[in-house]
A and B are shown apart, each in its own frame.
Chain A
Amino acid sequence: MADETPHRAMPFDEFVAPHLSMLLRVARSLTRNAHDAEDLVQDTLVRAFRAQASFDGRHPRAWLLTILRNTHINRNRRQRPGLLANGDDVTGAADRRNAASPSAEDAATANAREPWVADVLGQLSQRHMEVVQLVDVEGLSYDEAAAALGIPAGTVMSRLHRARARMRSRLAHRQDVRSVR
């Protein structure tokens, strides 16, 4: 039977090109470092290239994000073998690995264009911050954010909704935000 999946009809580089910017932004969100992010995407491309024969062609962004996340976990394991204990999560590991680097909150709020954005983001927990970062800042769908974080889409949704409700409530007390009561 002829293979009709578009990713097999085009060269690998053309297939991944539309997703590279998104992968880089998500990688930076996971690594919190532009240099590590580029290395992570490069490793992701190698794995995706090797795995393309088993890819069914559906949901390429989610497929690439799953590979990105698994690659990130493996890189963390390789760099600090004792870091990921049973039941540990990749974010917790990254938190400790980057203990000397700016925190996620610092990184996300340092360049905020609106002062109130920095304020509300700074109030969020790490888990809430990461879903807001992926869905609201980077524009991922619930399924894509779930693939990037390795959690169910329902968990993405509930964390996201709670995070936004907290941000909204915080904004209601600020005088400098006219657009949000």
Chain B
Amino acid sequence: MMKPSDVFDMFRRKGGARCVEVGRQIQTYLDGELDEAAAAKVSSHLAACRRCGLSAHDYRTLKSALADESVPPPAGSLERLQVFAAELAAADGRR
């Protein structure tokens, strides 16, 4: 459970941003979907704030484990589709 001092701490500026602001942006930041200025702000806050740094670490771990779950397409299907696309292009060239 959070102590009153923790709540107070979340409203303090660290690395140019408050935890409450960064908390809303951490995931977007890790997804690479923040603009450069906002990303720089989150990055310097994460370097200065242990709590948010740990939170970012959790989400990174989660994202990385999920990325490992991607299964390559079944053997042959990619090649068949490449041939199919080439046939479409060739048919167009013959018209």
Q: What is the interface of chain A, defined by CB distance below 8 A to chain B?
A: 11-14, 16-17, 20-21, 24-25, 28, 34, 37-38, 41-42, 45-46, 49, 108, 111-114, 116-117, 120, 132, 135-139, 141-142, 157, 160-161, 164, 167-168, 171, 179-181
- Count A/B pairs, Cβ under 8 Å: 104
Chain A: minimal CB distance from B51 (Å): 11
Is B81's CB under 8 angstroms from A45's CB? yes
Give chain A's interface secondary structure class: helix
Q: What is the interface of chain B, defined by CB distance below 8 A to chain A?
A: 27-28, 31, 33, 54, 58-59, 61-63, 65-74, 77-78, 80-82, 84-86, 88-89, 92-93
A11-B66 contact given A34-B77, A141-B33, CB 8 Å threshold = no
Chain B: minimal CB distance from A140 (Å): 10
Is A117's CB under 8 angstroms from B66's CB? yes
Indicate which residue in A12, A114, A141 contacts B65 across the interface (CB closer than 8 Å).
A114
Least CB separation from B27: chain A residue:
A161
Is B78's CB under 8 angstroms from A181's CB? no
Alpha-carbon gap, A42 to B62, bound state (A) = 33
Is B71's CB under 8 angstroms from A45's CB? no
Chain A: minimal CB distance from B50 (Å): 12
Is A12's CB under 8 angstroms from B82's CB? no
Chain B: minimal CB distance from A124 (Å): 11
Is A13's CB under 8 angstroms from B85's CB? yes
Q: Which residues in A have their C-beta under 8 angstroms from that of B71?
A: 25, 111
Chain A: minimal CB distance from B34 (Å): 11
Alpha-carbon gap, A42 to B54, bound state (A) = 44
Is A13's CB under 8 angstroms from B88's CB? yes
Chain B: minimal CB distance from A171 (Å): 7
Least CB separation from B32: chain A residue:
A141
Alpha-carbon gap, A14 to B67, bound state (A) = 27
Indicate which residue in B63, B77, B85, B92 contacts A17 across the interface (CB closer than 8 Å).
B85
Q: Which residues in B have their C-beta under 8 angstroms from that of A108?
A: 69
Q: Which residues in B have their C-beta under 8 angstroms from that of A25?
A: 70-71, 73
Q: Which residues in B have their C-beta under 8 angstroms from that of A168?
A: 58-59, 62
Is B62's CB under 8 angstroms from A171's CB? yes
Q: Which residues in A have their C-beta under 8 angstroms from that of B62?
A: 120, 136, 164, 167-168, 171, 180
